[in-house]
Amino acid sequence: MKRKLKMRLFFPKWEKIPEQTPYDLPPLGVIQVAGCLPEWVDVELFNENVQEIELDGDYDIAGISIMLTAQALRAYEISAYLRARGKTVILGGQHVTMCPEEASNHADAILIGEAEGLIDKIVEDYCEGKLQKIYRQNGFPDISNAPAPRRDLHDKAGLYTVRGWEMMDLIQTSRGCKFNCYPCSVTYLEGAKLRTKRIERVLQDVQRCSRRIFIVDNSLDQDIEYQKSLISALSGIGKRWVSHPINPIPSMLKLAADAGWWYVYLAIYKMSEKVRDRVKMYHDYGIGVEGTVMLGLDYHTEDFIKKLVDFLLEIKLDLAEFTIVTPFPHSRIYHQMEAEGRIIDRNWNNYNTAKVVFKPKNMTPERLAELYRWAWKYFYSSESQNTKMAKLLVRAKSDTGHKASQSVTKGVT
């Protein structure tokens, strides 16, 4: 029997979008890694975004999760501190997978790809004194029976609350995306083929979560039958949930609203009747809509951006989160801008989607930054972000969506 190994996992801080109401959701990836570790590994988790991290102490090995590119430099600082004091450091996460050569300069070992079936080998090799420099996932693992995330590691009272409201727990039911959207790195990171977890495994995990959950899957709308089975399974378990868009047919929207769906994140890049109709349809079923609005695409002019924000107000979007196009490594937009010589800032701290790190097509970087700040101010000029968010949180505690879906159904002839 192996001796007990003591491991600390660290989730580094990063600069948030300054215009956004401050909040922190309990990270999922790092507790998924913890769930994949053997039972003989004792794990502690420190999230620097919500607590002081304890770098010194009695433990054998450190794991640092770099989920976001904006976390990378801080992760390297933490690693340097620990290695200078004799600790063994493992780096993993999305940024490590995108930039492995860079990351390998800052760690004793790096994990490239997903953790299932690999993190356990890393700790075993460490115990046997044969730790390798690079561990690379061979393809994309089957996650149908993936170990459950270690949600007990988040059980620290008050760390994930805003004004007394307990924040949502994050759930992932699938990985991979066939759409390979222009600004996105998900297809590179997770593959183009959808891989799903067994519904029974998902429900077991959901039962350990708070009353409100966020299904973080990039797109549930890739497998209609799985989507329907998942939503049906969520019905009647007393959870309120948020997701990215699902299939917009009325029967699916009603099923979702009746199953506790109350809020959707909808990517909006331009004005269109499709967007207008989609938002109205969600509202008809009592679903709140937050638009994630990316500014700075190549067809965005100053006039276009101003008209776009007017359009968002006109369609009565509940919330808007404005971001600036960011060429994350290995996204399609990164390769295009790199080829065109348009990337002007490679300081990863600035890759938080609130700063301009490239040359826009139709304006200066400075002007895009000004329009970004204007968009936040103008959209929330008549009603504050806090007020709008409070209305949605009240809806989360109520049965509004279910009642609305019943009303819509009664109106159908």
What is the arithmetic mean of pLDDT over 99-116? 98
Q: Please return the burial class of 101, using the count of CB atoms within 10 Å of its CB with bins 0-12, 13-18 and 19+.
A: exposed
What is the arithmetic mean of pLDDT over 50-70? 98
Q: Over 270-328, what HEC string results?
A: CCCHHHHHHHHHHHHCCCEEEEEEEECCCCCCHHHHHHHHHHHHHCCCCEEEEEECCCC
Task: State the amino acid at position 130 in one-letter form.
Answer: K
Share of the chain above pLDDT 70, in %: 95
Token digits of residue 86: 């004799």
153: pLDDT strictly greater than 50: yes
pLDDT reported for residue 3:
79
pLDDT reported for residue 157:
66
408: pLDDT strictly greater than 80: no
Contact 391, 318 (CB under 8 A): yes
221: pLDDT strictly greater than 50: yes
Domain ranges of the chain: 5-136, 168-411
Mean pLDDT (the chain, rounded): 94
192: pLDDT strictly greater than 90: yes
pLDDT reported for residue 411:
40
**Pairwise CA distance, residues 235 & 239, whole Å:** 8
Confidence of residue 22 (pLDDT cuts 50, 70, 90): confident
84: pLDDT strictly greater than 50: yes
Residue with tokens 């101010």: 377
407: pLDDT strictly greater than 80: no
pLDDT reported for residue 163:
73
pLDDT in tens, 358-398: 999 999 999 999 999 999 999 999 999 999 988 887 877 66
Share of the chain above pLDDT 90, in %: 85
403: pLDDT strictly greater than 70: no
Token digits of residue 174: 């699938």
Distances (CA, A) of 366 to 19, 323, 352, 374, 381: 17, 15, 17, 12, 22
pLDDT in tens, 180-191: 887 889 999 999
pLDDT reported for residue 394:
80
Alpha helices in 165-258 (DSSP H): 186-190, 199-206, 224-234, 250-258
Do 168-411 and 5-136 fall under one CATH topology?
Answer: no
CA atoms within 13 A on the CB side of 163: 8
Contact 66, 91 (CB under 8 A): yes
**Pairwise CA distance, residues 2 & 53, whole Å:** 28
In the CATH scheme, what is the code of domain 168-411? 3.80.30.20
Among the ranges given (131-140, 148-157, 197-206), the one the predictor scored with the smallest mean pLDDT:
148-157
Token digits of residue 263: 């809020």
pLDDT in tens, 294-344: 999 999 999 999 999 999 999 999 999 999 999 999 888 999 999 999 999
pLDDT reported for residue 155:
73
Question: Which CATH homologous superfamily contains domain 5-136?
Answer: Cobalamin-binding domain (3.40.50.280)
Contact 240, 262 (CB under 8 A): yes
Contact 182, 333 (CB under 8 A): yes
What is the arithmetic mean of pLDDT over 82-87? 98
More confident residue, 406 or 116: 116
